[in-house]
Amino acid sequence: MEHSAGLDLNKGNLNNNRNQGHHHQNHDVVDPRESRDLDERILAHINIEAPTFDGQEPKHLVSWLFTMDNFFDWYYFPNNKRKVMFATMKLIGRAQTFWRCTQQLRANRNQPPITDWVEMKEKLREEYLPSWYKAMLLDEWNSLTQGNRPVTEYMDQFDEYMLICDVVEDERMILSRFRNGLNRELKRELILSQFTTLAQAYARVRSYEWAKKSELARTNNTHHR
């Protein structure tokens, strides 16, 4: 009888432990709705400032339009008219004057104002990135070389031209243009590697230059000992 009572007691303890464990497990589970609410509260305190565009440097239009699109996505601007109104406030200097004149001319012709963000972007591209200007930038891109600067600086400028020129071509052509602008040693390294994508080429020249710099630093340290 005592043995039976002890067994029942152990069973009771076991059940209690299980219930406690189950209680702790439920306590650790996070309600997905609470997680979403937390995300919303965090995002509400993140303040992103939209950039301005003054029209002084036409090629900066590409990065401005890209940033504005990201801004509208972040703050969820579903209304095109509101996008145009907000973007208009971010035009300053020459760009502001151009846009005011554009809208005024449409009013003088009894045409409705531009209220579509896509149309506004096209008008700005026509003004600041006309075909002749893009052709000039393409010539600059084709003649771009690394020179005496680090390869990362050359890559940054190469990417900038690629975005501005917006040329639709085979990646092998872009890779060839990048390779031709490199210094002789890096150019030879890419030719021997026979890469087929720009990402592969970028990774290789970065690692190769870093390895050369590390080797040079070790050599200098050895000489100074």
How do residues 169-203 score in pLDDT, each as one tens digit?
999 999 999 999 999 999 999 999 889 999 999 99
pLDDT at residue 24 above 60?
A: no
Higher-confidence residue: 34 or 58?
58
pLDDT at residue 129 above 70?
A: yes
What is the pLDDT averaged over residues 10-14?
46
The separation between the first and the last C-alpha atoms of the chain, rounded to the nearest angstrom, is: 86
Domain residue limits, the chain:
60-129, 133-224
pLDDT at residue 1 above 80?
A: no
Crossing angle of helices 117-128 and 60-74, in 10° steps, is 170
Q: Which residues of 114-124 are buried (b: 16+ CB within 10 A; e: fewer)?
A: beebeebbeeb
Count of C-beta atoms within a 10 Å radius of residue 35: 10
Enter the tokens of residue 202: 């970028």
DSSP SS3 for 27: helix
